[in-house]
Amino acid sequence: MSGFVHLVGAGPGDPGLLTVAGRRALERAEVVVYDRLGTEELMPLCPPDAVLLNAGKSPGRQAMTQDEINAALVEHGAAGRRVVRLKGGDPFVFGRGGEEAEALRAAGVEYAVVPGITSAIAAPAYAGIPVTHRGVATSFTVVTGHEDPTKESEQTDWDALARVPGTLVILMGMGRLAAISAALIAGGRPPGQPAAAVQWGTTPRQRRVVATLGDLPARVREEGLGSPAVVVVGPVAGLAEGIDWIERRPLRGRTVVVTRARAQASELSDRLRALGAAVVELPAIRISPLPGTPELDDALTRLDGYGLIVLTSVNGVDALFAALAARGRDARALPAAATVVAIGPATAERLAAHGVRADLVPERFVAEGILESLAQTPLDGVPVLVARARGSRPELVDGLRARCAHVDEVELYEAVPEPADPDAVAAALAASHLTFTASSTVRSFMGLLGPGERAALRGGPRVVSIGPVTSDTARAEGLEVHAEAAEHTIPGLVAALLADVAAAAPAP
């Protein structure tokens, strides 16, 4: 039985620019053949058991030849597997996707093309350069600069391109920029016409040089720009300073480490990227459901007898409803007369997603806040269910029992330390900020470090904590906490980070 191959455009580098269709294909893939550029941050979307084949190309090095790539797509597709060929930009814009499609068609393997956003328009847009603009340019031409404009056999007619009105966008031309510039000027483009080079477009590493066509090669050398880059020639390049938007992002130039579990990192990572930060995802923990216990079975059997049910995290909500679902039950099993307490708005939102409205959300999103919110509630003899993580702080249960409540504490999951890539650890130590969303992330992160790496933290990344309990753990581990969220949520954490950046020295 034949499989199916998706030729997917990964976009220009910003992972948020991947299309919905591309994401769905990656999430279902059994084999992924990926390029070097524009794909790195998309790898976590692949299933954990997917076979990943690096087909990346870099100057002077090629992991797989085009013939080898074609053969791999045919081999895995013909073997009945779901295959994704993940290509930077768009598969059919200087991506050789047409050749891959021809190989698949010849072999009788079914395929589909998922277009991607090409860097030809995305990199200029992120640099404040519209490739067309009313009254300035009504057309644009995209050309590869990979050919040598001085050789006799090249296909690109630079004289003709110099005479074409509108914007000229040159991909893969940085290695021959001086020769290309000279050829365009010789063909009639004015040497004083605005031109720009955008390196690592759409990513936090993006750099931009705006000059004239005649001066651009020298300016690029002075600024140290190299490949990969997009070159734009035409009056629209002169609009960059007025239209630029990416450089105004408050976290531009900052690298922020996210230590949340991989399954939960996206919310924080997405917020940080939207603010211009480069994000290093270093999941220090993994959320692992605990096997069923007699205590859990007993609690769920007697669920309708509880007068108070307390959920202390989003993970606790998910684990509780997973346990109910495993027993063929759902939100209707919760007693209508019970008071349901959610430790914070995120936990309340997750409860609502399961069809349960929280009756009480304390003002402070910690165990002590729950106790304060219940200060006027009679608890003497009230059956209470506290569903939470293994190893949680005892203050909540002790406080409830001190008020004579009959408390059943049920452990539903645990935070397990996650092994880390040494390169990711090194990147974290070189970052501008470390973020911690729970005490478990602090302890697990510090457990990844040797004595020398712990010493490197002194005077290194600034530490931002989600709340006082996490901050106390960080200090106990020898860290200095530079900022703490006033509201103990992900938006609160981001707000604390922004405040710390605003108060610190300008970004490098």
Please choose, from the candidates 464, 437, 498, the residue with its C-alpha nearest in 3D space to the C-alpha of residue 264. 437
**What secondary structure letter does DSSP report for 479?**
P
List 14, 87, 90, 172, catalytic entry: 172
466 Cβ partners below 8 Å, 6+ apart?
435, 436, 437, 438, 484, 485, 488, 489, 490, 492, 493
Pair of tokens at residue 11: 């976009």
Residue 151 is a catalytic residue: no
Check: CB of residue 179 under 8 Å from CB of residue 147: no
Check: CB of residue 273 under 8 Å from CB of residue 14: yes
Check: CB of residue 422 under 8 Å from CB of residue 452: no
The residue length of the chain stands at: 508
Give SS3 for 363. Answer: coil
Letter string b/e over residues 436-459, b meaning 16 or more CB atoms within 10 A of that residue's CB: bbbbbbbbbbbebbeeebeeebee
Apex CA 234: angle with CA 228 and CA 236, to 5°? 90
List 35, 90, 318, 500, catalytic entry: 35
Amino acid at 163: R
List 43, 57, 157, 270, catalytic entry: 57
Residue 35 is a catalytic residue: yes
- CB-based contacts of 105-109 (< 8 A; 24+ apart in sequence): 107/74, 107/77, 107/78, 108/2, 108/78, 109/2, 109/3, 109/4, 109/5, 109/73, 109/74, 109/77, 109/78
Residue 172 is a catalytic residue: yes
202 — alpha (psi -120 to 50), left (phi > 0) or beta?
A: left
Catalytic annotation, residues: 35, 57, 172
